[in-house]
Amino acid sequence: MRGFFKAYKDILVYHDYGPLLLFWNIADLANNRVLWMSYGEALDGGNEWAYLQYCLYFVVALGMLFSLPNIRSCSRFVGVYLLLYIFSTTRFLVNVFNDPEFAAGDVGRSLVVTGVYFTLWVWIYVKMRVEVMHKDLRG
Amino acid sequence: MDKPTATAAIVAAVTGVFSAGAFKFYEFMLKQKREVKKEEKAEQALYRDDLIKRVERLEQERDEHLEQIIDLMSEVAGLKVEVDYVKRENEILKLKIDSMR
């Protein structure tokens, strides 16, 4: 049983994030609302801020995709992506605590999914930064 | 900017600053570890170089001593021959003295 869990730990510690980041990035871009919704539609629905946020996500995801071969630049984009993620999650949480109508929705599921995605991005970011640091130290 | 947005922006900024600090600290720790390892390696290299020098010196001394032993052995062999010759001459002289008596 211990070996089973150690195998998972080894996957997290030693396996590379590159292919995961590439496919996740493409999926993230394809899933972005900017591609499937016009600004006018967002404006009509009163979601212009959310649309702007999705625009930012889109730009950062594009940056990530094109800077993937250069780990230093890519880690910066991942950092910005994480900050955006923290921003939108905090905004969501503040709305949950302040707005009873908002809290009545499927909040639990959203939070679990957000938590898992957040862990994924933190894992990728930490791995990248550590790799950059080791590269810097090696000279 | 509404309240949730402002709160979220502040939280994101604070997290960004703290994580940047944490990574700087981690980088500092890594550098320190690397320096310690470098020093240890340098010490090991110093010890190894000293050992190599000692082995070279000992080998040189051994070669010199071997040469000395070879010289001494040839000298001893020469002396043995000389002693045998002197012994034989002594025996002849003894016999000559006996026959004169």
Given a cut of 80, is residue B39 above it in pLDDT? yes
Given a cut of 80, is residue B71 above it in pLDDT? yes
pLDDT at A65: 93
Distance CA A88, CA A84 (A): 6
Given a cut of 80, is residue A66 above it in pLDDT? yes
**CA dihedral (B96, B97, B98, B101) positive or negative:** positive
Distance CA A52, CA A48 (A): 6
Q: Is A134 on the interface with B (CB under 8 A)?
A: yes
Name the percent of chain B lying above pLDDT 90.
Answer: 76
Q: Is A129 on the interface with B (CB under 8 A)?
A: yes
- How confident is the model over A27-44, as pLDDT tens digits? 999 999 889 888 888 888
Distance CA A7, CA A11 (A): 6
Q: Is A109 on the interface with B (CB under 8 A)?
A: no
Interface contact A94-B26, CB threshold 8 A: no
Higher pLDDT pick, A107 / A60: A60
pLDDT at B3: 80
pLDDT at A106: 81
Higher pLDDT pick, B53 / A93: B53
Integer-rounded Cα Rg, in Å, for chain B is: 43
Residue A94: how many CB atoms within 10 A of its CB? 19
Band (B78; pLDDT cuts 50, 70, 90)? very high
pLDDT at A94: 87
Q: Is B99 on the interface with A (CB under 8 A)?
A: no
pLDDT at A124: 92
Using DSSP, state whether A24 is helix, strand or coil. helix
Half-sphere exposure of A137 (CA within 13 A, CB side): 19
Name the percent of chain B lying above pLDDT 70.
Answer: 99
Interface contact A98-B3, CB threshold 8 A: yes
pLDDT at B13: 92
B-chain residues near A98 (CB < 8 A): 3-4
- How confident is the model over A42-54, as pLDDT tens digits? 888 878 888 888 9
A-chain residues near B16 (CB < 8 A): 79, 83, 86
State how far the alpha carbon of A125 is from the alpha carbons of A74, A120, B14, B35, in Å.
9, 9, 17, 26
Q: Is B14 on the interface with A (CB under 8 A)?
A: no
Given a cut of 90, is residue A103 above it in pLDDT? no
pLDDT at A37: 86
The rounded Cα B66 to chain-centroid distance in angstroms is 22
Average pLDDT, chain A: 88
Given a cut of 80, is residue A58 above it in pLDDT? yes
Higher pLDDT pick, B60 / A103: B60
The amino acid present at A72, given as its one-letter code, is R
Output the DSSP codes for B1-69: --HHHHHHHHHHHHHHHHHHHHHHHHHHHHHHHHHHHHHHHHHHHHHHHHHHHHHHHHHHHHHHHHHHH
Which of B4, B11, B23 faces A95 most closely, judged by CB atoms?
B4
Given a cut of 90, is residue A99 above it in pLDDT? no
Give the mean model confidence (pLDDT) for residues A14-36: 90
pLDDT at A73: 93
Which of A94, A130, A133 faces B4 most closely, judged by CB atoms?
A94
**Are the beta carbons of A123 and A12 closer than 8 angstroms?**
yes
The DSSP call for residue B96 is H
Given a cut of 90, is residue A108 above it in pLDDT? no
Interface contacts (A, B; CB < 8 Å):
43
